[in-house]
Structure 1
């Protein structure tokens, strides 16, 4: 598989719905559902960190529907790039929701709890990830969400759906592949066309247009995840002569995160009724790496499953035997965190303080 396959963040939308005509905001819930859910549905957009099977049937090299992926997941391999839960699985549980089905598999009834549109190797730019052949870029994920809205509207009515959408949380986290599976790939011309700041500007311009589309579809509560410390993943560490994090890669993504914060301020100011919060993945991951022992981790520089230096030169192969002490590892494979890290980050995003999520957390946003 290609050298720079890593996807750090995802996009999800948490769509409010409920039961038996208690108001327009309750339009989506199936009959008989209890009221334990903080929000009745979650719609997820993103990349391999939260893909739960949308790439399974694609002609794609970016797949995880084989053992030992899912070794700690009830039901085994599903297409999740993890030994178990992803970050949005943890967030779904904290919201009182069932795990959200993949768009490629969701039944009409399951859609009432939400849909996962995420796709490994996907990016903000359509061209990103082409080395893996099949993938579903963010633009197409938005179109798939429109198809879901059309189905909901056909069954529930336009007025109820429109008013319910206004109570959605859209969790959006794209961009990692636009660096690791585009800008840093030798067979892409991007690096010769743009310096780091110019490329960040290009991505944010496109990202702004995509988020505007979601706003025009009714999104009013949005969670955006920044990029993490990608220069410290096993795949990058394996290419280092001294086994250290790549300062070049870590510095490269900083303008994107800075641009995101400016974009969020602009959108919050200029779009009536819009509430965007920012998940600082960079700070979260820095904290985990720096204070790993306090979190229970002992291995921060290699994958639990993989081959070669740092177990990051070749990613987790079918039926490879992974490490037995998976909860002690920060990284599951050459590119992705373990379930243990995903759960920590999901909880910080859900109810953390402003060092992790700003200006409010997902729990507070859901209660607005």
Structure 2
């Protein structure tokens, strides 16, 4: 009887092992996000010396428990919303203390960092931030962990089936080229800086492909000359035309870059997501989309501007769902939702993990309000 049970047990173990060898490790499709403060979900929160922080009230007021969670908004990011609608899990911040191999296999990783850029020198006055090269380096470390967990063959399959998002560039202009404290501002002209930026991005995308990225989305820039921070530089309070032209030039060059890489890199499906027109129409015609303010932040420090981030003494607008901008830099949850939905329609995104139910989608609330705007 004992001999029979041992043979039976061995047969079950053999069957399970054979099934694993045939079918492989049962990994779901996840996403890996590389970006700046528009996509950061908490990395900078763990960078104690970073001056680019979303750790103060009123950040996160319309998300979960209403406390700051590392997102530079009152609610969700565009990546949160698109991922939810595609059935992709929300990847945690790379620096989240709970991150381990099992969490990575289940949810992916978000490496985005407020103040980060395509160029290493961008945002240096924030002291600590992850630029894109650093984010890719961290991704390489993630790959080592997963290879140790599931083996080289299954890890290769896992990373090649994953989705990748690269969304940086605005800091390279606003917190580098357009600031005279940076050498890039006097080393390059508008045209040569855009070329330098896109050539660097091309090297980085090629490196990601070498590391297994096959399905990758590069997001372009919106009309960054129309963010509140740029408007206050104008005597009229209007958009900065030069800044917007730089964004358009970058988008044009990056779109061509992505197209070229897709044609020459084996099995690459790289796409470019141009949100400029969507965001520009929202800012130009806010009432068309149910907003009533697109030129000033909901969270502001009274008439003293610009206060770059929300601070405990900041005043909030009455209805956060009616404001396009949350602070001087970043869109509100409502604006992010509209941008995400329009981008999904424009790019024809389809669900990936259809058995997954989306994460809760908080919507902006009305209170507390400390302003009559």
Q: In the alignment, what sits opposite 2:103?
A: 110
Residue of structure 2 aligned with 1:215, choices 209, 212, 215: 209
Question: Structure 1 length as normaliser, TM-score?
Answer: 0.85
Tell me if the contact between 2:78 and 2:337 (Cα under 8 Å) persists in the aligned partners.
Answer: yes
After superposition, the Cα gap between the structure-2 partners of 1:340 and 1:310, relative to the gap in structure 1 and judged at 3 Å, is farther
Pairwise CA distance, 1:329: 0.1
Q: CA deviation at 1:310?
A: 9.0
The question of whether the paired residues in 2 share the 8 Å contact of 1:100 and 1:115 is answered with yes
Q: Which runs of 5+ in 2 are unaligned?
A: 1-18, 355-373
Normalising by structure 2, report the TM-score: 0.84
Which one of the candidate residues 114, 119, 124 is aligned to 1:120? 114
1:102-133, Cα deviation, whole Å (9 max, x unpaired): 10012332212111100000001111001111
1:77 paired residue number: 68
The alpha carbon displacement at 1:189 in A equals: 1.7
**Which structure carries more helix by proportion?**
2
- What is the CA-CA distance between 1:143 and the residue it aligns to? 0.8
How far is the alpha carbon of 1:185 from its aligned partner?
Answer: 1.2
Larger radius of gyration: 2
The CA deviation string for residues 330-366 of structure 1, in whole angstroms up to 9 with x for no partner, is: 000000000111112222333x12xxx3xxx332799
Q: Paired residue for 1:299?
A: 293
TM alignment of 1:148-187, pairs within 5 A: 148-187=142-181
**Deviation larger for 169-178 or 103-112:** 103-112
Correspondent of 1:92 among 79, 83, 99 = 83
Larger mean Cα displacement after TM superposition, 271-280 or 204-213: 271-280
Q: How many residues align?
A: 331
Distance in 2 (CA, whole Å) between partners of 1:193 and 1:310 is 33
- 1:61 is aligned, of 27, 51, 57, to 51
Unaligned residue ranges in structure 1 (runs of 5+): 1-18, 30-39
Assess if the C-alpha contact under 8 Å between 1:68 and 1:77 holds in 2.
yes
Q: How far, CA to CA, are the matches of 1:266 and 1:366 in structure 2?
A: 29
Contact kept? 2:30, 2:163, Cα under 8 Å: no
After superposition, the CA RMSD in angstroms is 2.1
Question: 1:7 maps to which residue?
Answer: none
Partner of residue 265, structure 1: 259
CA deviation profile, 1:145-178 (whole Å, cap 9, x unmatched): 1111111111111101112222222111111100
